[in-house]
Structure 1
Amino acid sequence: MRYNYKYAMPVDRKVLEYDFESDDSVDDIPEFLKLMRSVDEHTFYKIADEVNSFVGGLWNNIDSQFGINLRDREKLLPIFQEYHRISESFSYIPAEIYRGVYLPSVYGNILEETFGDMIGTVNLKKHKKIGKIFEGLAYGLRSWSNDQNIARGFASYGRGERIMFVLMPQEGDVVLDGNALIELTKSIEDRNEDIPFPVDEDEYIVYLKNPKIVHAYKQQDYDRSYWVVIVEEG
């Protein structure tokens, strides 16, 4: 049987050229989705270990180039939506959340070549190519945090320029509050010990279908600089 998935705007082909291959277990997503739809908050304990292990295997290993790749990422959207339904009574969405990334090597030094060593606000209307790059890095099903330090840490992993996105989420932007799922999972550990968490503490799964850049500026952070990019759903 073929399953239909909803996709956001296309990923930049330059980025996809360096993407890894998804694990074969991605094909099992529809079966796990069916399983999740059969439970609620009070019966989740029956499937928590099995489902959390499966989703964590795909989602938590992305930085190690294993699990689910960028091309397939949105196949997990209905899974996270079901997690939200099941854990909604524990959920709280903060006023601001953050996502830290570094500029992928496929873009070279385009930010430095365009803006040099300048610090401060940039006019992206005059630099539409840069705006499109920022939008591409923000779009889709992504991991965000309510902790700026966590976001800045992720932005420091690579060699490219550091970028921290800031989102003031509107209704529907946040697909899953990771803390809510963790709290629910902990509440049932008396029944099933050592149930894994498929997400991290302070992690928020966000789905932006049409991100638009509101504001962008570069600021100094001790001996290094980083970009702060305010984004919203278009």
Structure 2
Amino acid sequence: MVSTNKMIRYNKYAMPVDPRVLKKDYESQGLDTIPELISLLKSIRSVEEYEAVDHIVRTQISDLWFLTNKGQGINLRDREKLLPVFQELSRIFKKKELLTSRVYRGVALPKIYKNLLTKSFIGDINAEREVNLHSHPKVIQKLEYLAYGLRSWTKYFDIANEWSYGTEEQDSIIFEAPSKFAVLDCNSYFNTMWEKIASSKIERLPFDFDEVICHLDNPKVSYIKMLEEKGINTNYWLVGIR
């Protein structure tokens, strides 16, 4: 389903609950810069005003958000501290102008879970490949924790699918949720600022194209559907969130 040599280079990991995963989390870097960044953004009243400070904001967000998949910037525990930053950018760049009705997020199950969905649900799926949500409540809870928090989503299923690959030993999940959870449509930023970024001597990106930053504080699983086989004992799963 996915070509591993075409993987998106940018991936932010889901919020794990298991302390075995949290134990491997790195220490946040740059937390002390967030209050000043929020204050700066609050002072801006227009896109024109923002353009004068974009290089400052872009560099700080790149440091805090863009490199988390490399163990740099803000860690899993602290990511909600960036919510006011993205809310201010949304105010400036009008996050809803380009949003689709649905957003998607692809994750590979953490390695401590591996193929938990396949082991739990493969014998319970119906003719439409849908799962009985009441059969394994603890697994449902784990999925809701994985969907929780301030995370990187996308407008496009295919991009989320690529993000979800991991390894053949891990189940792949594509979360689908209403765009009401969106905080910032990053394309609304790029549509205004890309020409300036491209001509800059410092071409540091704060986001990916087609990225939608979403905040889910109480996600609930509404459906689970097996999409197709992945490895010998793993599958791709579509998980609806409401």
The answer, yes or no, to whether TM exceeds 0.5 is yes
* Structure 2 match to 1:169: 179
When residues 220 and 91 of structure 1 are mapped into structure 2, their CA distance, relative to the original with a 3 A threshold, is: same
Q: Does structure 2 retain, via aligned residues, the 8 Å contact 1:90–1:184? A: no
Q: Does structure 1 retain, via aligned residues, the 8 Å contact 2:95–2:184? A: no
Distance in 1, matches of 2:191 and 2:57, equals 16
Please give the per-residue CA displacement for 1:17-63, whole angstroms capped at 9, x wherever unaligned.
2212211x122100111111111322001110011111011111111
**Which residue, out of 135, 143, 147, partners 2:144?**
135
> Is 2:223 aligned against 1:215?
yes
**Which residue, out of 124, 135, 144, partners 1:126?**
135
Distance in 2, matches of 1:41 and 1:12, equals 42
1:1-234 aligned within 5 A: 11-23=17-29, 25-39=30-44, 40-88=46-94, 91-116=97-122, 120-158=129-167, 159-170=169-180, 173-186=181-194, 188=196, 196-220=204-228, 225-232=235-242
Q: Which amino acid letter does the alignment assign opposite residue 240 of structure 2?
A: I
Q: Which amino acid letter does the alignment assign opposite residue 82 of structure 1?
A: E
Shift of 1:194: 5.1
Shift of 1:106: 2.1
Q: Does structure 1 retain, via aligned residues, the 8 Å contact 2:17–2:142? A: no
Q: Does structure 2 retain, via aligned residues, the 8 Å contact 1:97–1:147? A: yes
Secondary structure, counterpart of 1:50 in structure 2:
helix
What CA RMSD, in Å, does the superposition of the two structures yield over aligned residues? 2.4
When residues 74 and 190 of structure 1 are mapped into structure 2, their CA distance, relative to the original with a 3 A threshold, is: closer
Unpaired segments ≥5 residues, structure 2: 1-14
Q: Does structure 1 retain, via aligned residues, the 8 Å contact 2:90–2:185? A: yes
Query: How high is the TM-score relative to the length of structure 1?
Result: 0.85
Secondary structure, counterpart of 2:220 in structure 1:
strand
When residues 146 and 81 of structure 1 are mapped into structure 2, their CA distance, relative to the original with a 3 A threshold, is: same
Shift of 1:110: 2.4
Distance in 2, matches of 1:184 and 1:193, equals 18
Secondary structure, counterpart of 1:121 in structure 2:
coil
When residues 213 and 45 of structure 1 are mapped into structure 2, their CA distance, relative to the original with a 3 A threshold, is: same
Unpaired segments ≥5 residues, structure 1: 1-8
Q: Does structure 2 retain, via aligned residues, the 8 Å contact 1:12–1:136? A: no
Query: Which sits farther off after the overlay, 126-135 or 85-94?
Result: 85-94
Using the aligned pairs only, state the percent identity: 36
Q: Does structure 2 retain, via aligned residues, the 8 Å contact 1:52–1:195? A: no
Q: Which amino acid letter does the alignment assign opposite residue 169 of structure 1?
A: S
